């Protein structure tokens, strides 16, 4: 199964993200990113982060890994045995095919 969802980012609160860096004060909009399932019953997720945050990409990737695990559980999968491929969004088994000689495919 491939998890399909919409991902939209918009301004949550104008000029609400304040970062003091030494003598410089940076004021940016607080952004909200919404992840809404399309092809499965899962809880919509939201993530807040300051606009143009220096770690924008990595923080969102980490959040996505977290929600993929939460969605697996909501769908009845055990995250000890399955994971969501971050690139393809496909639910996959993390069992080694060599240890399962009677299994035709380890994909879920």
pLDDT tens digit sequence for 51-108: 999 899 999 999 999 999 999 999 999 999 999 999 999 999 987 444 444 444 445 5
Give the single-character DSSP code of 98.
G
SS3 call for 40: coil
Please give the Cα distance from 39 to 2 (Å, whole number): 9
| DSSP 8-state symbol, 80 | T
The Cα–Cα gap between 83 and 13 comes to: 34
Query: Residue 9: its pLDDT value, please?
Result: 98
For residue 106, the model assigns a pLDDT of 47
pLDDT category at 20 given cuts 50, 70, 90 is confident
The pLDDT of residue 102: 47
- pTM comes to 0.80
Side-chain half-sphere exposure of 31, counting CA atoms within 13 A: 14
Phi, psi torsion values for 7, nearest 5 degrees: -130, 110
């Amino acid at each position: 199964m491939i998890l399909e969802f919409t991902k939209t980012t918009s301004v949550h609160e104008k000029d609400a993200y304040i970062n003091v860096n030494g003598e410089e004060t940076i004021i940016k909009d607080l952004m909200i990113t919404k992840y809404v399932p399309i092809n499965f019953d899962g809880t919509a997720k939201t993530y807040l982060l300051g606009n143009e945050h220096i770690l924008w990409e990595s923080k969102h990737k980490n959040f996505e890994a977290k929600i993929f695990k939460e969605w697996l559980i909501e769908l009845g999968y055990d995250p000890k045995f399955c994971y969501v491929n971050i690139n393809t969004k496909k639910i996959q088994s993390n069992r080694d095919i060599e240890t399962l000689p009677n299994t035709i495919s380890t994909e879920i």
